[in-house]
């Protein structure tokens, strides 16, 4: 089992019954993909391993759907997704399988959070796992928005260096575009995608700058892609296609 | 080449230079996935086939990134993604590779649209392709929002049955959850995901009901997942984790 998932499992299972449904392979940048063209294979985790649940041949969003509708005896109180290796910030939320699992659970009416650690090197999940349990315990701060999925990022810092928690909007941080070309033995060019997340805007009210400054960041999420300002303008126009 | 892509290519190439960069395999419900764990292989399309461009081993979002940064001699005026077989409506925008390509282009500062046909059976792309060309010609109706990516759905109806064009918000339509279990030759259960899109809300101001009523639907999109109302509430609270 991925060490981030194991750390989250251990922290939450101290006070909760935890049922694990996880992709059987690492799912990097799969976004909110779901699997329609192939069947989903499931493998029950061995109770000897200390986990109750299943490994699934699909994506994080597949896991949530299958867990809620087929694998769990009854729906859970909350879905926790993570702990991801690497922060999920700004426009990169679009690419994140970890975030998609929380959004999928929310679409199904289940409380949900995604939790990510802001490093890819030698990750230490202990503080992030402890914070996840703390957040679950304090879920009532969401008041009437308890069904709002939360995107949580934890800095990869020693606990005494973490400055606190900030509730932030999604920033406009995004992956820089970098493609590294290589040549195969037959002389053909192929590419590795190797961008880095860079911030474009904002102060400590936005996710990327706040995480960089040493704060745990929490963004409540919605799933509405409508650009309402542009829609208001378009509704004043007409675009009917003349018959040929 | 997929027939929806070929129809779009033919309609747009009457008045424009079209450069094709497309996934080499069908990408169903891949969402906004990008490929980081594997390299991206590219194959130049044969000029004999009548297309100028490349087939890529990745997702629709990969294709856009690679096209803009490596494959095209200069950035295009507009990215057109589709024509998808099957509508892209409501929360299902999260799952759509077709829509992700338009959103990715928009993140890169390029005008963009996704276009989908509302059927999976015996698709006839001719009206949708003609409408795509009509929309490109009338892009200036977007005024100051010309960089806003558009999600376009065309009903699978005879042209004289189409009622017109409506500018609509994303509805809350979503896939119903349906998993069809099967048993493999060794007695193990696996699942096919087989939901249908169902509308939950709204009148003709929303994408799903408007398409069902026979209108071409156009939704201008944004990519901000922030739930601002929940954020306002959370900012009145505190969640700092006590030191252990």
Q: What's the pLDDT score for residue B75? A: 94
Q: Which residues of A touch B70 (CB under 8 A)?
A: 179, 181, 191
Is it the case that residue B16 has pLDDT exceeding 70?
A: yes
User: pLDDT tens, A228-237?
Assistant: 888 898 888 8
The region, left, alpha or beta by phi > 0 then psi within -120 to 50, assigned to residue B187 is left
Task: Please tell me the predicted confidence (pLDDT) of residue B241.
Answer: 78
User: Is A84 known to sit in a ligand binding site?
Assistant: yes
Nearest CA in chain A to B34: A29
Q: Give A75→chain B minimum CA distance, Å.
A: 14
pLDDT, greater one: B224 or B17: B17
The residue-averaged pLDDT of A178-193 equals 87
A213-217, B87-91, B224-228: segment of lowest average pLDDT: B224-228
Q: Is the pLDDT of residue B26 over 80?
A: no
Which residues, 6 or more positions from B141, have their beta carbon under 8 angstroms from its beta carbon?
A234, A237, A239
**Highest mean pLDDT pick, B75-84, B188-197, B200-209:** B75-84
Confidence of residue B94 (pLDDT cuts 50, 70, 90): confident
Using the predicted structure, report yes or no on whether residue A168 has a pLDDT greater than 90.
Answer: yes
- What pairing do the DSSP bridges indicate for beta strands B53-56 and A197-198? unpaired
> What mean pLDDT value characterizes chain B?
90
B46 is annotated as contributing to ligand binding: no
Q: According to the model, what pLDDT value does residue A172 have?
A: 87
Tell me the helix, strand and coil percentages in chain B, rounded to 5.
30, 25, 45
- In this predicted structure, the answer to whether residue B29 has a pLDDT above a threshold of 80 is no
Q: B176 falls in which pLDDT band (50, 70, 90)?
A: confident
How many C-alpha atoms does A111 have within 13 Å on its Cβ side?
Answer: 15
pLDDT digit string (tens) for A139-154?
Answer: 999 999 999 999 999 9
Domains and CATH numbers, chain B: 3-169+199-234 (3.40.1210.10)
Closest chain A CA to residue B139 = A239
pLDDT higher than 70, residue A244: no
Average pLDDT over residues B108-112: 94
Average pLDDT over residues A178-183: 88
CB A218 within 8 A of CB A151: yes
Confidence at A201, pLDDT banded by 50, 70, 90: low
Task: Give strand pairing partners of A166.
Answer: A217
Helix, strand, or coil (residue B69): helix
C-alpha distances (whole Å) from B44 to each of B23, B54, B68 are 12, 4, 15
Packing angle of the helix pair A126-137, A3-13 (nearest 10 deg)? 40
Question: Between A30, A41, A226, which is nearest B169 by CB?
Answer: A226
Chain B residue numbers with beta carbons less than 8 Å from the beta carbon of A28 are: 36-37
pLDDT at A22 exceeding the cut of 80: yes
pLDDT tens digits along B123-171: 999 999 999 999 999 999 999 999 999 999 999 999 999 999 999 999 9
Percent share of chain B, pLDDT over 70: 98
pLDDT recorded at residue A9: 95
Distance from CA of A117 to the nearest CA of B (A): 16
Task: Tell me: pLDDT of B203 over 70.
Answer: yes
Measure in Å the smallest separation between the Cα of A190 and chain B Cα atoms.
5
Question: In this complex, do A228 and B169 lie within 8 Å of one another by their Cβ atoms?
Answer: yes
H or E element in which residue B220 lies: strand B215-220
Is residue A72 pLDDT above 70, yes or no? yes
Residues of A in contact with B220 (CB under 8 A): 226-227, 230-231, 234
Residue B47 pLDDT exceeds 80: no
pLDDT at A54: 92
Residues on chain B touching A99 (C-beta within 8 angstroms): 225
Report the gap between the CA of A12 and the closest CA in chain B (Å).
15
Overall average pLDDT of the B190-212 stretch = 85
For A200-225, what is the mean pLDDT? 89
Tell me what percent of the residues of chain A surpass a pLDDT of 70. 98
Query: ipTM of the predicted structure?
Result: 0.81
Report pLDDT for A139.
Answer: 94
Residue B195 has pLDDT above 70, yes or no: yes
Torsion sign across C-alpha atoms A86, A88, A90, A95: positive
Closest CA to B116 of B132, B105, B137: B132
Q: Tell me, what's the pLDDT at A7?
A: 96
Q: How far is it, in rounded angstroms, from Cα B117 to Cα B131? A: 11
pLDDT of residue A194: 80
């Amino acid at each position: 089992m991925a060490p981030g998932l194991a750390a989250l499992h251990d922290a939450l299972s101290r006070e909760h019954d935890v049922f694990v449904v996880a992709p059987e392979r690492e799912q990097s940048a799969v976004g909110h993909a779901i699997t329609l063209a192939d069947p989903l294979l499931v493998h029950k985790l061995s109770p000897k391993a200390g986990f109750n649940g299943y490994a699934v041949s699909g994506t994080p969003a597949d896991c949530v759907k299958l867990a809620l509708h087929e694998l769990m005896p009854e729906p859970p109180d909350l879905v926790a997704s993570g702990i991801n290796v690497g922060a999920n910030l700004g426009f990169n939320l679009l690419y994140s399988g970890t975030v998609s699992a929380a959004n999928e659970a929310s679409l199904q009416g289940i409380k949900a959070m995604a939790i990510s650690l802001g490093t890819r090197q030698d990750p230490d999940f202990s503080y992030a796992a402890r914070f996840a349990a703390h957040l679950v315990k304090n879920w009532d701060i969401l008041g009437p928005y308890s069904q709002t999925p939360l995107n949580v990022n934890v800095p990869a810092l020693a606990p005494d260096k973490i400055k606190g928690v900030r509730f932030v909007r999604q920033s406009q941080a995004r992956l820089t575009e970098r493609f590294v070309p290589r040549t195969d033995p037959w002389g053909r060019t192929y590419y590795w995608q190797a961008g880095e997340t860079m911030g474009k805007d904002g102060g400590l009210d936005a996710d990327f700058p706040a995480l960089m400054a040493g704060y745990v960041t929490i963004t409540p999420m919605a799933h509405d892609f409508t650009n309402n300002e542009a829609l208001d303008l378009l509704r004043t126009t007409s675009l009917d296609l003349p018959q040929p």
